Amino acid sequence: MLQIVQYKNGPFTLSTDPALVQVDRVCEFLARSYWANTRDRATIIKSLEHSLCFSLFHEQTQIGLARVVTDGATFAYLCDVFIDEEFRGQGLGKWLVKCIL
């Protein structure tokens, strides 16, 4: 069973609550990425539903995501890591990965 965790860092919150994922924002960013720009919306949604997602928020707006594909015991694969361009250079990506680890 998934345990929801949250971390705070000033105005930033990191959460594993799947209900908080802002699917439109995630799809918008992945459409601009070089690694996922050919994925359709249905595929992105399915990938989010079947992964442990770490959503990064500035106040109420999702500004980042990291998706972990895992068996919950021995294997984890980190993918689809992004920080919104407007918020890069503040160490948020490092903080995101540190929280995941």
Domain locations in the chain as residue ranges: 6-100
Contact 28, 44 (CB under 8 A): no
Q: What is the predicted pLDDT for the residue at 3?
A: 84
Domain 6-100: give its CATH code.
3.40.630.30
Assigned token pair, 100: 């995941």
Assigned token pair, 46: 């399915």
Q: What is the predicted pLDDT for the residue at 94?
A: 97
Residue 87 to residue 63: CA distance in whole angstroms: 7
Q: What is the predicted pLDDT for the residue at 1?
A: 58
Residue 51 to residue 55: CA distance in whole angstroms: 12
pLDDT values of the chain reduced to their tens digit, one per residue, 101 residues: 578 999 999 999 999 999 999 999 999 999 999 999 999 999 999 999 999 999 999 999 999 999 999 998 999 999 999 999 999 999 999 999 999 99
pTM of the predicted protein model? 0.93
Backbone angles phi, psi at 7, to 5 degrees: -125, 145
